[in-house]
Chains A and B, each alone.
Chain A
Amino acid sequence: MLAVELNGDAVRAKNGSMVAYDGRMGFKRLTGGGEGLRGMVTRRVTGEHMTVMEVKGQGTCYFADRASNINLVRLGGEKLYVEASNLLCTEEGLRTGTTFTGLRGAAEGNGLFTTTVHGTGWAALMSDGPAVILRVAPGLPLTVDPGAYVAHTGELKQQFVSGVTWRTAIGEGSGEGVQLRFEGSGTVYVQPSERTTLGGQL
């Protein structure tokens, strides 16, 4: 559960994620993820749906979604890449957008696009179990199971590693046939559980 103290300012949260509040609060659904007409069209086209509400008022507001773990990320101008389904709440100062991820999204079963958050402020991510934050530095590449990937920040290059061979076809796959390799410098958020993914069975 996430508690947000509001003092006349606003936060954006996943629609319907408010569980309790005290003080005076106003809830307003933002069409198109609060990204204007262009964002609305982009989201409709890319299938990266995100229904967002704006919460404004005085007091404390509590957010939660299906008892999943919440991880707070402090952004200082950099860009956070996260799946729309894993994003719970962002501060007013953060802008959200959509970006192309290519094959990675397809292997996660989340579509070809992902959500970006950039600006300065706090963002709240959801994960199944507390996320482990792993650093990627030059010369220290990290490989992640697509089903456990939650989000990443920094200048990272993603690359698909495929261990799918003829053995997979005869049912002798390694179960880790599709992996994501991150190179560059930044951090990656990984959850201790795996979503069912397209590549997960290989």
Chain B
Amino acid sequence: MTVDVLDPATLPVDDNVNPYVFCVDLNGEWFLQKGKMIAYYGDIRFDGLGHGPLDGLVAASFHSPLHAGHWVVAQGRGKLLLADRAYDVNSFDLEDGNLNIRSGNLLAFQPGLALKQSIIPGFLTLIGTGKFVAASNGPVHFVEPPIRVDPQALVGWADTPSPCHHYDHHYLRGFLGGVRALTGIGGASGEEHQFEFTGSGTVLMQSSEALMPEEAVGAVGVAGEQGRGVPGAGVPQQAGGQPGQEGLGGLLGGILGGR
């Protein structure tokens, strides 16, 4: 337990105060997600993105109209403390790189980076050079492809080709599989669906499968606990079926069933 009393002189510069609080040494502008500021020293203004004088900045670094309502620009000079629901907070440097991150996990970024919407729903892409701050439920782990990860544990990925869905074949093999595929009834381990990464780069994972509540931004009808946070999981389904498996199961199940 820390009993240190901190003031602007002893607060770290662009670094973590503790695993849950990050201190930004603001001198200019940063983009923040709304409501993540917990305290600040100095003279700082917070403005919505539609604010006139910010037009140039926003035009240069913010390219996601879907998320514009959730972001603000902090400008001024001082020490700014960021935190998010007592989740672990980390900062990362990006050098002329690109990174995809789950939209709910990104807290703040420097205007040197450009924010874009990933073509994968629910994710954002940062391109350029600069620092950004992200939250995760439990510490972040860096892993290298080739790897398959649980959709709920995925925080983001950098410099790799985009992932694809991977379904284990087990769940539609054999008699039980046939029943499951045809009726949607039957046991499933809950782990037959993964994201597969190949090539070189880094994949960021959190050590929990708890997701931040996020806005449904351009996501295709996500439904149920299984489909939570899985882009494209909520394919059109029939009543009573298991979300996520019905589309593929129904297609292949039809072939299997007619055999």
Kindly list chain A residues whose C-beta atoms are within 8 Å of the C-beta of B38.
132, 144-145, 148, 190-194
A135, B9: Cα distance in complex, Å: 10
Stretch at the interface among A20-28, A32-40, A105-113, A167-175: A167-175
As a 0/1 sequence over residues 34 to 68 of chain A, the CB contacts with chain B under 8 angstroms (1 = contact) are 00000000000000000000000000000000000
Chain A interface (Cβ within 8 Å of chain B)?
69-72, 128-130, 132-135, 137, 140-145, 147-148, 163, 167, 171-176, 187-188, 190-194, 200
Which of A132, A147, A194 is the one whose CB lies under 8 Å from B6? A132
CB pair A174 B5 closer than 8 Å: no
* Cβ of B65 to closest chain A Cβ, rounded Å: 13
Q: Which residues of A contact B35 (CB under 8 A)?
A: 145, 147, 175-176, 194, 200
Q: From A140, A175, A190, give the contact of B39 (CB < 8 A).
A: A190
Identify B46's interface contact among A141, A176, A192, CB under 8 A: A176
Question: Which residues on the A side are within 8 Å of B2 (C-beta)?
Answer: 130, 133
The complex places the Cα of A187 from the Cα of B41 at a distance, in Å, of 13
- How far apart sit A142 and B41, CA to CA, in the bound complex (Å)? 5
Min distance, Cβ B15 to any Cβ of chain A, angstroms: 13
Task: Tell me which of B4, B70, B84 contacts A133 (CB under 8 A).
Answer: B4
A140 touches B84 (CB 8 A): no
A129: B residues at CB distance < 8 A: 20-21, 83, 86
Complex Cα–Cα for A173 and B73 (A)? 11
CA distance A133 to B37 in the complex (A): 15
Is B59 interfacial (CB-CB < 8 Å)?
no
Given contacts A134-B39, A143-B40, A187-B5, contact A174 B46 (CB under 8 A): yes
With A and B bound together, what is the CA distance between A70 and B86 in angstroms? 14
Alpha-carbon distance A193/B21, docked complex (angstroms) = 9
Cross-chain contact of A134 among B1, B6, B69 (Cβ < 8 A)? B6
Contact A188–B39 (Cβ < 8 Å):
yes
Top-10 shortest CB links A-B: A175-B34, A129-B86, A192-B83, A148-B38, A174-B46, A192-B20, A172-B48, A135-B7, A193-B86, A176-B46
| Docked-complex contact A167 and B39, CB < 8 angstroms | no
Which residues of chain B in 1-22 are interfacial with respect to chain A, using CB atoms and an 8 Å cutoff? 1-8, 17-18, 20-21
A137 contacts which of B4, B7, B46, B70 (Cβ < 8 Å)? B7
Q: How far apart are the CA atoms of A130 and B2 in the complex, in Å? A: 8
- CB contacts (< 8 Å) of A172 on chain B: these are 48-51, 69
Chain B contacts for A192, CB-based, 8 A:
18, 20-21, 38, 83-84, 86, 89
Any A CB within 8 A of the CB of B72:
yes
- Shortest A141–chain B CB gap in Å is 7
Q: Residue of B at shortest CB range from A69?
A: B86
